Structure 1
Amino acid sequence: MYNQATLSELIRFARVGAGSTVIDVYPGDGDWTRLFSDTVGPGGRVYSFVPAEVADFKNDPVGRMRILSKEPGRENVEAVSADLIAMPDVTQPADVLWLHLFYHDLHTALMQGKGATAADFNRAVYERLKPGGSYVIVDHAAAAGAGTSVAQSLHRIEPASVREEVEAAGFVLEAESTILANKTDPHSVKVFDPSIKGATDRFAYRFVKP
């Protein structure tokens, strides 16, 4: 995770506040779910959404989020799971949908092999967000011109490709942040490589549903 100042800035960038309804897609260890839970407070709601495509992973992501939702003070968290593009079926209209280091996976065999595509998912997000709602994407940047071609091999994606795909679903790019940028990243190595792990060049986009 990031330092406290960066976390606070990203939450502000995402426009998550008291009373917000947030969908945290593919929550991993649940760190963002906890932060959003603290931020939205008792009047808000956080859906910790585990795509069914990854639900059978050995670390039991659904079970872990259900345990998290039982932690003291987490009454505003609900752990849910469904096929990725069926996300609207298990959540309520949201103010923010948060996608952290996951968008590139929409272009991998794991997701597409089970019927999920970026276009289908973006349409599902559009359906689930309230008018004026924010679709926030943070991901590992690929080199200019790479497009989606290294999503499988390097777990990176070119920011321009993300923007093109999301705007095609009807969203408007409202803001971008360079807070996670790293100009020394060569963009040619896998994000898990020890030389760059945890310090990749990352982009942050906030799209809005008109």
Structure 2
Amino acid sequence: MSRVSAIALALGLAASSLALSAGAATAPSPAITAAVADASRPQADKDRDADRKPAEMLAFAGVKPGDKVVDFMPGAGYFTRLFAKAVGPKGRVYSLLPGEIASRSQKAVDGQKALAEDKAYGNIVPLVEPAAALSLPEKVDVVWTSQNYHDVHAFMGTETVAAVNKAVFNALKPGGVYIVLDHAAEAGSGLRDANTLHRIDPETVKKEVEAAGFVLDGQDDALRNTADNHTLKVFDPALRGHTDQFVFKFRKPK
């Protein structure tokens, strides 16, 4: 083999390895495409699609018709509504608001109430219970949390985070997935910025979730932003909606 060929082969292998570690993008299914295009979605949600890339996120999570999904700390329900349409009438979406958040955030309570009252989404089941309990009526296929993992640390403490991750593990079917999407903090910062900048070090998330028994099964880099230097609060007008975000897929072993 010539030196040029050897170099080309090495570069090809390196590129393949990088693509595998980052998680190759999966084409959205017709169910996911239809969910994003659903006319009953609030306009405010649609206006955020370019930044939040919902079709790619749901495809990465592997959401499909008939699935049972937990949206943990759903906010105003941006992803909850998408899940509801993507899983269809044979699926179910549990909109889970931790009691610890409900007791201190009227905005979160109002979001939960709006989901429960929205007649366009009949397969959403609102739940309010302690964060570490996750007492569900059935095992689920996907547990999803978006831009909230750092808040569990900030509002509930590290011991509660460990209990939450273990409860998620127990709530999933064997082979089920736990998706964590959050604002990235500076590498090596650990939990330093969770309560101030509302960010968390991705490596800290990996270690904590894997400690509960999960295996890292991929990551999606569609929401990464190299222009974000991780020093601003995520609500800063100069950056809001465009933070550097990581998306991890953890799988419960079969």
TM-score for the superposition, normalised by structure 2: 0.77
Does residue 79 in structure 1 map to residue 126 in structure 2? yes
Q: Which residue of 2 aligns with 1:51?
A: 98
Give how far 1:195 is off.
Answer: 1.5
Q: What RMSD in Å do the two structures reach over aligned CA positions?
A: 1.8
User: 2:251 corresponds to which residue?
Assistant: 208
Q: Does 1:190 align with 2:210?
A: no
Q: Could you tell me which runs of 5 or more consecutive residues in structure 2 were left unpaired when the two chains were aligned.
A: 1-47
Q: Deviations over 1:158-185 (max 9, x none)?
A: 1111001101111000010100000000
Distance in 2 (alpha carbons) for counterparts of 1:74 and 1:50: 17
1:207–1:72 CA distance, 2 compared to 1 (3 A): same
1:27 to 74, 77, 82: 74
Taking the aligned partners of 2:247 and 2:139, their CA distance within structure 1 comes to 23
Offset of residue 70 of structure 1: 3.4
- Alpha-carbon distance in structure 2 between the residues aligned to 1:62 and 1:92: 24
Q: Which residue of 2 aligns with 1:176?
A: 219
Identity of aligned residues (%): 42
What amino acid maps onto 1:191 in structure 2? V
Q: Compared with structure 1, are the counterparts of its residues 30 and 116 closer, same or farther at alpha carbon in structure 2 (3 Å cutoff)?
A: farther
Report the equivalent of 2:181.
Answer: 138
Matched, 1:111 2:151: no
Contact 1:20–1:45 (CA<8 Å) still a contact in 2? Answer: yes
1:153 is displaced (CA, Å) by 1.1
Structure number having the greater strand percentage: 1
Alpha-carbon distance in 2 for matches of 1:203, 1:30: 20
Deviation at 1:74, TM superposition (A): 1.8
Judge conservation of contact 2:51–2:242 (CA < 8 Å) in 1: no
Q: Is the CA contact 2:136–2:171 (under 8 Å) kept in the aligned structure 1? A: no
Larger radius of gyration, structure 1 or 2? Answer: 2
Which structure's residues are more often helix, by fraction? 2
Counting matched residue pairs gives: 206
2:61 alignment partner in structure 1: 14
- Does 2:209 align with 1:156? no
Contact 1:84–1:116 under 8 Å retained in 2: no
Deviation at 1:75, TM superposition (A): 1.9
Distance 2:105 2:209 in 1: 31
Give the superposition deviation at 1:68: 2.0
In the aligned structure 2, how far is the partner of 1:52 from the partner of 1:5?
A: 27
- CA change 1:67–1:29 in 2 (3 A) is closer
| Distance in 2 (alpha carbons) for counterparts of 1:41 and 1:48 | 15
Which of 82, 100, 109 is 2:146 aligned to? 100
